[in-house]
Amino acid sequence: MTVRNARAVLFLMLLATFVLSSCGMSSSVASRAGYAWSRPAKSGIPLSPNSLSCASQRFCLVGGLSDWGHDLATYNGNSWSVSLTVNTNSPSSVMSVSCPSPSYCAALNGARVRTYNGESWSPLQSAGNIGNEGRYISCPARTLCVAMSLYGVVSVYNGVSWTKPDSIDHGILVTGLSCPVTQFCVALNSHGDVITYNGKSWSAPKLIDTRGRFALNPISCSSPTFCVAVDAHGNALSYNGTSWSAPKLVDPHGALNAVSCSSPTFCVAVDGHGNALSYNGKSWSAPKLVDTHRALYLVSCAPSSQCVAMDVHGYWIKTEK
């Protein structure tokens, strides 16, 4: 073989190695991400969003503050429309919504709640007398909704009636609530504690994040053996059914505002700088700027793993596989 031929063979071998390596890298990245984000679009809904819940690719519900008496809006897979109202008074504010399916939702407005059956909303009813500071509601099914006030007063709905209010955290501010099934819920507080529910009673607060007060923010659980919580310093913590991991820095921009997990191998978190990052069951992707309007505030991933996110300026984006 001549020197020229030898060099040609070596070049082709190196080229092939590079191509295979690049393809493998691209495949790995694709398997970790598996989606792209749409361009931000103006939602056009006249409310400031507080809570978002997506039950499917074609149904999401958002609740918020409105000066027009319209505190809820729905998403049909392409666009948003204001077609539902929990409280016709103006101004009105829905603090939390939860939709386990397109045919069942609950919306919490202070101490009052309404439920949706896919066609119409029930009359306003008391959410177990949790007080006017009602902040969170989570419903894994028609037969269970948990409503909680900002100060840890909780009531449980069994599909027929609400239990008497109970204080689970003695006035410490609650910062998150997630109930993936009827026999399991997790609440977070501003001291970095976690409180769990087993279908009958609540545990004592347990410290899981030592990053300081008011740091631990939202939580999302896809099952009793998998939860993710994020904090205001860009850390994520995961639960495996037995214990919580230590806080791990996943977003150097900090201020992770929301997280949603549709399964143990798919979570999405968003931050106050317009970035989104995903979890594949093993590791987090790097933060990626997906909303140039910045300040992503809410995210919800349907069981199909399609996610919708909203920012504080009224823009929304969705994942596109």
Provide the pLDDT confidence category of residue 246 given band limits of 50, 70 and 90. Answer: very high
55 CB-near residues (< 8 Å, 6+ apart): 61, 99, 100, 101, 102, 105, 302, 303
Percent of the chain with pLDDT over 70: 84
pLDDT the model gives residue 24: 35
3-state secondary structure 221-256: EEECCEEEEEECCCEEEEECCCCECCCEECCCCCCE
Residue 214: count of CB within 10 angstroms of its CB:
14
Positive or negative, the Cα torsion across 306, 307, 313, 314?
A: positive
Provide the pLDDT confidence category of residue 180 given band limits of 50, 70 and 90. Answer: very high
pLDDT the model gives residue 217: 83
Residue-wise pLDDT tens digits, 182-241: 999 999 998 899 999 999 999 999 999 887 566 788 999 999 999 999 999 999 999 999
pLDDT the model gives residue 255: 85
Q: Are 221 and 178 in contact (CB under 8 A)?
A: yes
- Specify the range with the lowest mean pLDDT, choosing from 28-37, 204-213, 236-245, 303-312: 28-37
Separation of alpha carbons 272 and 218, rounded Å: 14
Residue 300: count of CB within 10 angstroms of its CB:
26
Top mean pLDDT of 2-6, 34-38, 79-83, 96-100 is at: 96-100
Among candidate residues 154, 219, 231, the one with its CA nearest the CA of residue 191: 231
pLDDT the model gives residue 58: 94
Distance of CA 133 to the CA centre of its chain: 21
pLDDT the model gives residue 298: 97
Q: Which helix (H) or strand (E) holds 270?
A: strand 266-271
Burial class (CB in 10 A: 0-12, 13-18, 19+), 277: buried
> Which residue's structure tokens are 């829905």?
94
pLDDT the model gives residue 3: 37
pLDDT over threshold 80, residue 91: no
Q: Are 192 and 207 in contact (CB under 8 A)?
A: yes
Q: Are 310 and 288 in contact (CB under 8 A)?
A: no
Q: Are 228 and 215 in contact (CB under 8 A)?
A: no
Its pTM stands at: 0.86
Provide the pLDDT confidence category of residue 287 given band limits of 50, 70 and 90. Answer: very high
Separation of alpha carbons 320 and 306, rounded Å: 7
Phi, psi values for residue 14, rounded to 5°? -65, -40
Separation of alpha carbons 290 and 36, rounded Å: 9
Among candidate residues 271, 250, 265, the one with its CA nearest the CA of residue 303: 265
Mean pLDDT (the chain, rounded):
85
pLDDT the model gives residue 122: 87
pLDDT over threshold 80, residue 134: yes
- The stretch 16-27 carries a mean pLDDT of 34
Q: Are 140 and 101 in contact (CB under 8 A)?
A: no
pLDDT the model gives residue 132: 84
CA torsion 220-227-113-88 (nearest 10°) is: 0
Total residues belonging to the chain: 321
CA atoms within 13 A on the CB side of 217: 20
Tell me the DSSP string of 85-137.
-S--SSSEE--EEEEEETTEEEEEETTEEEEE-SS-BPPPEESTT--TTEEEE
pLDDT the model gives residue 80: 93
